[in-house]
């Protein structure tokens, strides 16, 4: 073990690495419950996306990716399906663009393969150098705000009011119809009389307090606590339907829960419902649909590239895991030679595994910094974290009885954590502020990460041209901007 992980070389030992691995796990374990709660919404009544299958796929992709990170790259980082990327998968690719979850998984797989190719060939370095820092920071902050907004909505804290005559019903009856309103729809806070809303608000407050007090597993503790209180309220007579369950009363709810908890083996095998279900043919059904898919895949690729790199450089520099020489070797060397190159390769390979089994893009978690702060310096930390994720397979039946009021508060807090990059933006420079604001604002306002990225690219190019700095823009940026503009044109033509 000493020789394989080079523990003495990196100034650590087995005990420290084990503690660091456990710390990382408990800091990010919330994802095994939150990811299914988001991705299941990508399904429909006729084409459901099974949450237990997603739960198992989440663990499989996390275990494989984290083991590759530890055994191949020998760095203390853990991987799991990325927050923000799962939201983009569900709310933009499936709910807005209209792709099925099988087609979205095909996109994720293609993105993983493409990212590995551009990493090995060196194109990744070109893209990293081409993307302006302002867009890197704004995209990260915008996704954070978008995730927080989803959490606030899922908590039931908002209601929307539209003026008469400004909305349409699409459905046979108002009870099962989809309502489409225009810009007159105004959000406002609810009156907090609903027990589910009260519980969600309690969850937000609890997690915030635990985070401030620096509890390592703050988010996980919040999810478990709110779930326990929810069960107590149901036992005391609150209708389970209030919390989104299909059971009509407490007896029916707890009976179904007991049945599900006894079927661990069956629940784990549920992954067959999502494994290898990618629909590649559907992406090429028409030219217009493929171009729409292409813009989505570009957003996947860009987010994948800079999310992982930002985590590595941001935490690795401070801890000495990646030094200046390693970064220099990555940018100037060829192939996958540096420690940083190997870590990026591990990050991308996990995305392919996740797509194969049925989950959105897998990425390196910034929560790994908790394990690094606890002394983790080698891949042994990652191996310990992976083992803990593997043990969680026995919890697969539990995912079906975790209420959304328990996971939604976690999204709000994760959104806060993801907003940190906004503080690095120079808001006094109007040109930078305009690009950043349009990128960040349009993600939650348009309920689409791609739309925010599109406005960011387009505004950056236009402002640079007005400032007579067009020659400073890399051709890669012009290429992506042209695709985003073409996508907007096609959307307009499609609605004529």
Q: Is the pTM of this model over 0.75?
A: no
Ordered DSSP codes for 238-255: --GGGGT-S-SSHHHHHH
pLDDT > 90? residue 397: no
Q: What is the mean pLDDT of residues 336-363?
A: 85
d(CA 331, CA 317): 15
For residue 436, being part of any structural domain is answered with yes
For residue 387, being part of any structural domain is answered with yes
pLDDT digits (tens, 9 = 90+) for 54-98: 999 999 999 999 999 999 989 999 999 987 788 889 988 898 888
For residue 174, being part of any structural domain is answered with no
pLDDT > 70? residue 140: yes
Q: Cβ distance 382 to 72 under 8 Å?
A: no
For residue 183, being part of any structural domain is answered with no
How far is residue 150 from each of residues 90, 153, 410, measured CA to CA in Å? 11, 5, 11
pLDDT > 70? residue 394: yes
Instruction: Pick 14 or 318 by higher pLDDT.
Output: 14
pLDDT > 90? residue 214: no
For residue 427, being part of any structural domain is answered with yes
pLDDT band with cut points at 50, 70 and 90 for residue 364: confident
Q: Cβ distance 363 to 307 under 8 Å?
A: yes
pLDDT > 80? residue 176: no
CA dihedral 21, 23, 24, 27 (to 10 degrees): 160
Report the candidate in 292, 288, 346 with the shortest Cα–Cα distance to residue 107. 292
Tokens coding 471: 């020659």
> Can you say how many angstroms the Cα of residue 457 is from the centroid of all Cα atoms in its chain?
21
Q: At what angle do helices 449-466 and 133-154 cross, to 10 degrees?
A: 150
pLDDT > 70? residue 5: yes
For residue 176, being part of any structural domain is answered with no
Report the candidate in 336, 404, 9 with the shortest Cα–Cα distance to residue 200. 404
For residue 93, being part of any structural domain is answered with yes
Report the candidate in 283, 301, 296 with the shortest Cα–Cα distance to residue 115. 301
Q: What percentage of the chain has pLDDT greater than the value 90?
A: 28
Report the candidate in 138, 147, 180, 216 with the shortest Cα–Cα distance to residue 437. 138
Q: Are strands 362-364 and 79-81 parallel, antiparallel or unpaired?
A: antiparallel
How many domains are contained in the chain? 1
Q: Cβ distance 268 to 56 under 8 Å?
A: yes
The beta strand positions in 264-376, using DSSP E, are: 362-364
By mean pLDDT, which of 124-133, 281-290, 309-318, 386-395 is the weakest?
309-318
Helix (H/G/I), strand (E/B), else coil: 380: helix
pLDDT, residue 496, reads 46
pLDDT > 80? residue 438: yes
pLDDT digits (tens, 9 = 90+) for 107-128: 999 998 988 888 777 777 777 7
Burial call 265-275: b when 16+ CB within 10 Å, e when fewer:
eebbebbebbb
Contacts of 249 (CB under 8 A, 6+ apart): 239, 240
Instruction: Pick 401 or 267 by higher pLDDT.
Output: 401
pLDDT band with cut points at 50, 70 and 90 for residue 315: low
Residue 159's beta-bridge partner residues?
Answer: 188
Helix (H/G/I), strand (E/B), else coil: 66: helix
d(CA 96, CA 48): 17
pLDDT digits (tens, 9 = 90+) for 462-474: 999 999 999 889 8
d(CA 296, CA 229): 39
d(CA 324, CA 493): 49
Residue 187's beta-bridge partner residues?
Answer: 160
> Can you say how many angstroms the Cα of residue 90 is from the centroid of all Cα atoms in its chain?
10
Residue 170's beta-bridge partner residues?
Answer: 178
pLDDT digits (tens, 9 = 90+) for 288-307: 677 788 878 887 887 776 66
Q: What is the mean pLDDT of residues 427-433?
A: 94
Q: Are strands 158-161 and 167-170 parallel, antiparallel or unpaired?
A: unpaired
**Can you give the residue range of the structural domain that contains 64?**
2-156+194-494
How many separate helices (H) and strands (E) can be counted in the chain? 21, 6
Instruction: Identify the residue whose tokens are 């370095």.
Output: 125
Ordered DSSP codes for 228-288: HHHHHHHHTT--GGGGT-S-SSHHHHHHHHHHHHT-HHHHHGGGGGTTT---SGGGGSSHH
pLDDT, residue 57, reads 93
Work out the burial of residue 9: count CB atoms within 10 Å of its CB; fewer than 13 is exposed, 13-18 middle, 19 or more buried: exposed
């Amino acid at each position: 073990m000493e020789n394989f992980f080079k523990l003495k070389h990196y100034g650590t030992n087995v005990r420290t690495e084990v503690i660091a691995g456990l710390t990382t796990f408990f800091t990010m374990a919330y994802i095994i419950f939150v990811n299914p709660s988001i991705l299941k919404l990508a399904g429909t009544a006729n084409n459901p996306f099974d949450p237990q299958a997603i739960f198992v796929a989440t663990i499989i992709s996390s275990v494989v990716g984290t083991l590759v990170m530890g055994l191949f790259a020998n760095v203390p980082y853990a991987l799991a399906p990325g927050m923000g990327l799962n939201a983009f998968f569900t709310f933009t690719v499936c709910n807005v663009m209209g792709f099925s979850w099988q087609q979205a998984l095909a996109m994720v797989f293609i993105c993983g393969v493409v990212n590995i190719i551009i990493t090995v060939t060196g194109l990744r370095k070109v893209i990293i150098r081409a993307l302006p820092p302002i867009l890197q920071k704004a995209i990260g902050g915008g996704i954070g705000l978008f995730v927080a907004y989803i959490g606030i909505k899922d908590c039931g804290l908002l209601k929307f009011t539209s003026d008469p005559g400004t909305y349409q019903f699409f459905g046979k009856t108002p009870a099962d119809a989809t309502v489409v309103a225009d810009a007159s729809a105004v959000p406002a806070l609810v009156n907090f009389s609903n027990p589910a809303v009260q519980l969600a608000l309690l969850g937000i407050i609890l997690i915030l307090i635990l985070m401030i007090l620096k509890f390592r597993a703050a988010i996980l503790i919040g999810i478990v606590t709110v779930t326990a209180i929810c069960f107590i309220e149901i036992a005391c007579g609150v209708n389970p339907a209030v919390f989104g369950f299909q059971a009509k009363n407490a007896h029916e709810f707890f009976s179904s829960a007991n049945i599900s908890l006894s079927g661990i083996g069956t629940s784990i095998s549920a992954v067959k419902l999502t494994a290898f279900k990618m629909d590649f043919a559907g992406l090429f059904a028409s030219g217009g649909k493929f171009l729409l898919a292409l813009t989505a895949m570009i957003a996947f690729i860009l987010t994948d590239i800079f999310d992982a790199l930002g985590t590595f450089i941001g935490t690795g520099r401070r801890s000495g895991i990646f030094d200046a020489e390693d970064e220099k070797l990555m940018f100037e060397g060829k192939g996958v030679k540096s420690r940083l190159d190997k870590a990026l390769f591990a990050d991308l390979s996990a995305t392919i595994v996740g797509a194969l089994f049925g989950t959105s893009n897998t990425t390196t978690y910034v929560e790994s910094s908790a394990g690094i702060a606890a002394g983790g310096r080698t891949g042994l930390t990652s191996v310990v974290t992976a083992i803990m994720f593997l043990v969680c397979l026995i919890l697969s039946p539990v995912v079906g009885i975790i209420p959304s009021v328990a996971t939604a508060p976690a999204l709000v807090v994760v959104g806060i954590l993801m907003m940190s990059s906004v503080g690095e933006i120079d808001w006094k420079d109007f040109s930078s502020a305009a690009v950043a604001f349009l990128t960040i604002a349009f993600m939650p306002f348009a309920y689409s990460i791609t739309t925010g990225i599109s406005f960011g690219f387009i505004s950056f190019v236009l402002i640079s041209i007005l400032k007579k700095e067009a020659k400073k823009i890399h051709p890669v940026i012009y290429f992506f901007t042209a695709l985003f503009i073409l996508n907007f044109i096609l959307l307009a033509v499609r609605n004529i």
